[in-house]
Amino acid sequence: MFTNQTRRRLGGLISRHVLGVAALILAAGTTTSAYAAYPDHQIKLVIPFAPGGGNDAVGRTIGKLLTESLGQPVVVENMAGAGGKIGIAYGLRSKPDGYTLTLISNSYAVNASLYQLPFDPVKDMTPIGMIAHGPFLITTTGKLPVSSLQDLIRLAKAKKGSLSFASSGVGGISHLATELFMMDAGIKMAHVPYRGTGPAVMDTLAGRTDVFFSTPGAAMPYIKNGRLKVLAQTLPKPWPEMPALPTVAQAGVPGYQVVIWYGLIAPKGLPPQVQTKLNQALNAAIVKPEVTRQLSMEGDQASPGTPEQLRTQIETEIGVWQKVVSEAHIKVD
């Protein structure tokens, strides 16, 4: 039998336990109720690059469409600098409530190998979903005596490093994509970095550089008028815009692929119901006909999917680019 004192102690413990459980249930209900109304005010979309580039164009398109589908304004804020680090760090340090989102692209995975980051690119984010993807086009000046990727590889081996390739900047995705290609093809070309895609295309057109891994949007006008030759594209499957153009793997470098991609993330700790709502809104937005047409003009395809597919893309690429940066001894100032 319990003494009266023991009964009182047990009664107090039970009461506190019941009150604690009730508080947890109430808190969970309150949280669920709060996010059931999401969003109820303006959302910020951070683009970690300057206005005018490919990231900015994709981000502004998605911001407009999410405004329509979510019923609240999605306001774009460009935060350029340090290869995207500044804007991404801001986005990931924000409150995980769904009101600050960040646009990312390949550089998000590349930067993990090039910089000391103030965040973990996998653990400190919540993936929302992929937006779009597209290829690099391997282009050459019309002055180069090649008509296929195998011709280029043979010429590069014969010239033993005297051919050159342009890039949009040291450590940029076009630079790393070319370094990976040279590793897989067993060739070496001299790197000529530029400050952006435009100057790299112009000097390749002029014959001052021999090869450039270009985005379709920058290269297609010159491919169509015959001033640039395109030898292959870097997707693992045929590119719908030029279905007869071989992949790099089909053209003789098995296993090679590089995908240009864009995605949307939020800070870690985002409530699952908000993540799901944002993913559904994003997937619905990017398959609208006006969006697919606009993406197609830049050589991209809509990429609806799950948050985990974006996480897998990031994790896989971090591993790939770590190897390239290490073996090619790439350093940024």
- In this predicted model, what pLDDT tens digit does every residue of 253-312 receive, in sequence order? 999 999 999 999 999 999 999 999 999 999 999 999 988 988 888 889 999 999 999 999
- Dihedral sign, CA of 8, 10, 12, 14? negative
Q: Give the domain CATH number at 143.
A: 3.40.190.10
Q: In terms of Cα–Cα distance, which of 264, 271, 236 is closest to 250?
A: 236
CA distances from 47 to 256, 265, 333 (A): 29, 11, 23
pLDDT of residue 250: 97
Q: How far apart are CA 87 and CA 94, in angstroms?
A: 11
pLDDT tier for residue 39 given thresholds of 50, 70 and 90: very high
Place of tokens 């459980």: 21
Residues 6 or more apart whose CB falls under 8 angstroms from that of 219 comprise 137, 139, 201, 212, 228, 230
Q: Is 109 exposed, middle or buried (0-12, 13-18, 19+ CB in 10 A)?
A: buried
What DSSP string runs through 69-135? HHSS-EEEEE---GGGHHHHHHHHHS-SSSSEEEEEEHHHHHHHHHS--SS-TTTTEEEEEEEEEE-
CA distances from 264 to 129, 136, 152, 202, 206 (A): 6, 21, 37, 32, 37
Same structural domain for residues 159 and 301? no
pLDDT of 333 > 80? The answer is: no
Domain boundary among 198, 233, 268: 233
pLDDT of 57 > 60? The answer is: yes
pLDDT of residue 171: 93
What domain count does the chain have? 2
In a domain, residue 19? The reply is no
| Least confident residue range of 33-37, 305-309, 317-321 | 33-37
Residues 6 or more apart whose CB falls under 8 angstroms from that of 294 comprise 61
In a domain, residue 241? The reply is no
Mean pLDDT of the chain: 90
Place of tokens 């002029």: 206
10 Å Cβ neighbour count for 124? 17
Sheet strands side by side (includes 228-233): 190-193, 164-167, 211-214, 137-141, 228-233
Q: What percent of the chain has pLDDT over 70?
A: 89
Q: Is the peptide bond before 238 cis (omega within 30 degrees of 0)?
A: no
Backbone phi and psi for residue 70, each to the nearest 5 degrees, phi listed first: -95, -15
More confident residue, 153 or 161: 153
pLDDT of residue 145: 95
pLDDT tier for residue 63 given thresholds of 50, 70 and 90: very high
pLDDT tier for residue 25 given thresholds of 50, 70 and 90: low
Same structural domain for residues 54 and 100? yes
Domain of 217?
Answer: 137-233
Q: What are the structure tokens assigned to 98, written together?
A: 């769904």
More confident residue, 54 or 202: 202
Q: Give the domain CATH number at 104.
A: 3.40.190.150
For the segment 160-178, the average pLDDT, to the nearest whole number, is 94
Q: How far apart are CA 50 and CA 76, in angstroms?
A: 11
Same structural domain for residues 158 and 118? no
Residues 6 or more apart whose CB falls under 8 angstroms from that of 78 comprise 47, 48, 49, 50, 51, 56, 87
In a domain, residue 161? The reply is yes
In a domain, residue 310? The reply is yes
pLDDT of residue 255: 96
Domain boundary among 197, 215, 233: 233
Same structural domain for residues 109 and 148? no
pLDDT one-digit tens code per residue, 81-92: 887 899 999 999
Same structural domain for residues 89 and 164? no
10 Å Cβ neighbour count for 234? 23
pLDDT of 6 > 80? The answer is: no
Same structural domain for residues 170 and 89? no
Same structural domain for residues 264 and 281? yes
In a domain, residue 322? The reply is yes
Same structural domain for residues 128 and 159? no
pLDDT of residue 14: 44
Domain boundary among 181, 214, 233: 233
3-class DSSP state of 188:
coil
For the segment 211-238, the average pLDDT, to the nearest whole number, is 95
pLDDT of 149 > 70? The answer is: yes
In a domain, residue 25? The reply is no
Same structural domain for residues 120 and 192? no
| Least confident residue range of 47-61, 144-158, 225-239, 251-265 | 47-61
Same structural domain for residues 90 and 171? no
Same structural domain for residues 225 and 295? no
In a domain, residue 295? The reply is yes
In a domain, residue 220? The reply is yes
Same structural domain for residues 58 and 142? no
Q: What is the pTM of this model?
A: 0.86
CA distances from 300 to 45, 57, 150, 172 (A): 21, 12, 26, 19
For the segment 54-71, the average pLDDT, to the nearest whole number, is 91
Q: How far apart are CA 112 and CA 248, in angstroms?
A: 26
